[in-house]
């Protein structure tokens, strides 16, 4: 694979499959969904979707995916703030054999706009 091909996988633009916030919310009751939040730990601490797994895009690797025990057969939703950092994560997960991977359309901004529930682990 050429340098440009490797680099293009990490660029935060291009088309990847998307799912809107209300559809993701409806799937939360399913046992076969996993939500991967690629924002920083600080962002995740302030507000995240219940059950989401924080895997900052800056720490993404095959090893970090294995450590998080992500299931390649589960519906996987990748989240960031505004649907930019999630694009390369969707690409990388698909290349790693994940079957059904989407990004949250509009990112957490769309989740908050829809007034859907979040959790906070920060003390602020």
| Cα–Cα distance, 107 to 104 (Å, whole number) | 5
Token couple for 62? 């095959």
* Residue 54 to residues 2, 80, 99, Cα–Cα distance (Å): 30, 10, 20
Q: What is the pLDDT along the chain (124 residues), one digit of tens a residue?
A: 654 455 455 455 567 999 999 999 999 988 889 999 999 999 999 999 999 999 999 999 999 999 999 999 999 999 999 988 999 999 999 999 999 999 999 999 999 999 999 999 865 4
Residue 4: per-residue pLDDT: 45
Residue 14: per-residue pLDDT: 64
Residue 84: per-residue pLDDT: 87
Residue 87: per-residue pLDDT: 93
Residue 1: per-residue pLDDT: 60
Residue 10: per-residue pLDDT: 47
């Amino acid at each position: 694979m050429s340098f440009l091909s490797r680099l293009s996988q990490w660029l935060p633009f291009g088309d990847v499959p998307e799912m809107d916030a209300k559809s993701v919310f409806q799937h939360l009751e399913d046992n076969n969904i996993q939500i991967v939040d690629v924002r920083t730990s600080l962002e995740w601490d302030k507000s995240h979707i219940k059950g989401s797994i924080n895997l900052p895009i800056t720490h993404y690797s095959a090893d970090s995916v294995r450590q998080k025990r992500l299931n390649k057969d589960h519906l996987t939703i990748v989240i960031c703030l505004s649907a930019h950092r999630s694009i390369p994560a969707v690409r990388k997960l698909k290349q790693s054999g994940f079957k059904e991977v989407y990004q949250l359309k509009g990112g957490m901004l769309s989740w908050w706009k829809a007034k859907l529930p979040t959790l906070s682990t920060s003390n602020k």
